[in-house]
Structure 1
Amino acid sequence: MRRYSVERISEGAVTYFFIRDRESMEIVLLPSKYLKHKIKANRSPNTVRRAAFAICYYLEYLREIPIEITQVYELNYEKQSEHFVDFLHWLKAGNHRSDKENNLKPIHNGTCNAYLEDVFRFYLFIEAEYERLGSLKVLSYSYHMAVNAVGVQKKLRYQAFKGYLKAEERNVRPAEQEEIITILNACTNCRDQLLILLLAETGFRIGELLGVDYVRDIDYQHQMISVYFRDDNENHARAKNAEYRKAKISNETFEFLMYYLAEYRELLQHQEKLFINISGDTAGQPLTADGVYSMRNRLQEKTGIFITPHMLRRYFANMRRKAGWRLELIQQALGHKHIDTTIKYLNIVDDELLEASQQFYEKHSALYGIQDLL
């Protein structure tokens, strides 16, 4: 039986996470202090939640060895490296799961690495609080200077660990247009249909769309929907990276949006979020991500088609690429910080690269004057 558990408490729109010792029923102070620090630093609830579980798993691992956190600092480089590599393999083997969770799908290497990165961030917090402990020996630090938009130099510090598991490539396919049409026809209400349409037409993340305020965030004259960062949404929806951007929707989807607003005007008038619960005791309250995934599961049972909000986001990206959008435009529309992330969304296959190369050389066959060299 696991000794530690992740618990939460809400104060208004803010959710705090903490770790409890099930044997003593006391709160484990140091990691809980760290989690509170992350909330105060305006990290998203999902980010803090993952960190909470990562640290909770790590405490279980320490208990099994057994070893104390302060003793980890005393290990030499080789032993520290072995300690954290063993933690990765402990996670990979599913030892962090309870008995009832053993039937879940295998944990990915990338997820194990992410948990370890959260543990390392926890250690950095400990080092800041207790300087006498020093630093972890296995983390190598490197620096480089970056210049911001106004020309101010900033020294950036990076940490690295050489023992991470080799991450598998994510094989998330984009949704197909025929699948989207089938799902739309299987919906039993216009709220679910509008949600799917807007995900497909805006490329927004589900957290961003659930945070849309139908009073302030929709430009009804120009048929534009905006994403704003807010950290006080009742349904905990947030824009990733605290970013702002806009998306234009089609005339048909805009008309459907107006139909939805009219259909549920009595429920919508009591709050500001575009998407709400439309039945039950929570009718009129903002729709949550859990509610969206419950809807997805119902539609999957009904149609046999598995579609996630992320697959609709990839559909958006690939449809824009086929329409001739520049890669930078797609990156901006998706809200990606790095263009490499955008490229991973696109179904650029080998045949397309070969065809594009062939067309290029047909147009530029004499590019290097090779005939003169023969």
Structure 2
Amino acid sequence: MEHFIVDMQTEKSKKYYFIREEVSQEIVLLPSQYLMHKMRAKGSPNTIKRSALVISYYLNYLSENQLTMEDVWNMKYEKQQEHFTDFLIWLKAGMHSKDEYTKKPYNETCNAYLKEVFRLYNFAEQQEGCEQSLKVLSDAQYIVRNSVGIRKILNRRSFHGYLKETGHIGRTIEQDKIVILLKACANCRDQVLLLLLAETGFRIGEILGNRYATDIDYENHLIYVNFREDNENDARAKNAEFRKAKVSDATFEILKFYLEEYKDLIFQQEYLLVNVSGKYAGKPMQDSGVRSLMERLEKKTGIKVTPHMLRHYFANTRRKAGWKLELISQALGHRHIETTMKYLNITEEELMEASDAFYSQHQSLYGVDHLL
């Protein structure tokens, strides 16, 4: 049974997330203060919502075990280690979800949830001026490089008990399947959405936040990402950055056809992608609408597609076309090359072909033929 739930209230177009005690409906102060802190730190609404859900999972886990955060602070090292390790196992088993059909999370996801819990403890320690801190976290330094190679030293508190990460590579989609999906679309708005995701590599929040009057270069066929916090549909560019991408002439023709076809709806507001039918026709499209569209396409074609799969498709097609890793990383808006590497589905066949091509040009690297 859930004892703690996530609540949301909207005020002047801003979403505020809280943690409530389910029976009494009282706001749980400390976690709710933490969520407000994240909002003031310019966290995106989706990020804050995800944090709220993770915190509710942990509070329910504490409740199941008849514990409080204060109890955890007061545990000895071994008990703390056992507590957080058991929490990871609880997550991995899917115990945090009421839906028995929900897919069990990857190890990476479980670890990310625990890191969010540690951030809550860290906030509480600073907020309340605690003299003690979690005993299982040790200070560590990490050296990282960004996409242009600049070296940076990060000081972090590390936990030696995370689940082993498998290096999961996200799924991509093949070009022939995208063609089938495009043909199955009910209207040109849906086609424009799929094409822009496939040809720009932008995140879905970056596409949905696009404004047709200011974020498109109609002469040069460029689509821009502009960071804004006031989008009506809560769309948000992830890293507060500016980027641009060029699309094909054919895609731009479909884009112009869409603008003409639905001009009566589009030109009544600012956003490029709008709902074209139903109760909310003319309103900017939201993430939930994109998910519904892709579920409908899967039912019609049997082909699963997500915005992130199209982002992976962009990365892999550019790699095969000979783009340098740095260019792909910049196009995707990644801060670290390592993130881009996870997008590239390099097969065993490609490695063997590359090896064959290399040795066909360099057969006698070490003068081995003279040793025989």
Instruction: Answer whether TM exceeds 0.5 for this pair.
Output: yes
The alpha-carbon deviation at position 366 of structure 1 amounts to: 4.4
In structure 1, how many angstroms separate the alpha carbons of the residues matched to 2:144 and 2:168? 30
Cα 1:223/1:139, change in 2 over 3 Å: same
In structure 1, how many angstroms separate the alpha carbons of the residues matched to 2:18 and 2:155? 28
**RMSD (CA atoms):** 2.2
Write the letter of the residue equivalent to 2:290: V
Partner of 1:212: 210
In structure 2, how many angstroms separate the alpha carbons of the residues matched to 1:107 and 1:314? 20
Any idea what the Cα deviations from partners look like across 1:323-366, whole Å, max 9, x if unmatched?
Answer: 22112111111111222222222221122222222322332344
In structure 1, how many angstroms separate the alpha carbons of the residues matched to 2:91 and 2:340? 30
Partner of 1:43: 43
TM-score, L = length of structure 1? 0.93
Q: Any conservation in 2 of the 1:3–1:60 contact (CA below 8 Å)?
A: yes
The alpha-carbon deviation at position 292 of structure 1 amounts to: 0.4
Q: Which runs of 5 or more residues in structure 1 are unaligned?
A: none
Q: Any conservation in 1 of the 2:225–2:243 contact (CA below 8 Å)?
A: yes
Partner of 1:2: 2
Partner of 1:143: 141
In structure 2, how many angstroms separate the alpha carbons of the residues matched to 1:164 and 1:147? 23
Cα 1:323/1:304, change in 2 over 3 Å: same
Residues 94-133 of structure 1 aligned to structure 2 (within 5 Å): 94-98=94-98, 101-133=99-131
Please say if 1:299 is aligned against 2:312: no
Any idea what the Cα deviations from partners look like across 1:297-345, whole Å, max 9, x if unmatched?
Answer: 1111111111111111111112112222112111111111222222222
Write the letter of the residue equivalent to 1:17: Y
Any idea what the Cα deviations from partners look like across 1:86-119, whole Å, max 9, x if unmatched?
Answer: 1111222232222xx1122223222221111110
TM-score, L = length of structure 2? 0.93
Q: Any conservation in 2 of the 1:70–1:133 contact (CA below 8 Å)?
A: no
Cα 1:16/1:252, change in 2 over 3 Å: same
Cα 1:254/1:356, change in 2 over 3 Å: same
Write the letter of the residue equivalent to 1:170: H
Aligned match of 2:177 in 167, 176, 179? 179
Which range moves more in the overlay, 17-26 or 101-110?
A: 101-110
The alpha-carbon deviation at position 83 of structure 1 amounts to: 0.7
Q: Any conservation in 2 of the 1:127–1:135 contact (CA below 8 Å)?
A: yes
Q: Any conservation in 2 of the 1:143–1:158 contact (CA below 8 Å)?
A: yes
Which range moves more in the overlay, 337-346 or 41-50?
A: 337-346
The alpha-carbon deviation at position 294 of structure 1 amounts to: 0.2
Which range moves more in the overlay, 171-180 or 64-73?
A: 171-180
The number of equivalent residue pairs is: 370
Q: Any conservation in 2 of the 1:218–1:224 contact (CA below 8 Å)?
A: yes
Residues 344-363 of structure 1 aligned to structure 2 (within 5 Å): 344-363=342-361
Aligned match of 2:319 in 318, 321, 326? 321
The alpha-carbon deviation at position 148 of structure 1 amounts to: 10
Which range moves more in the overlay, 113-122 or 321-330?
A: 321-330
In structure 1, how many angstroms separate the alpha carbons of the residues matched to 2:210 and 2:102? 33
Residues 169-248 of structure 1 aligned to structure 2 (within 5 Å): 169-248=167-246
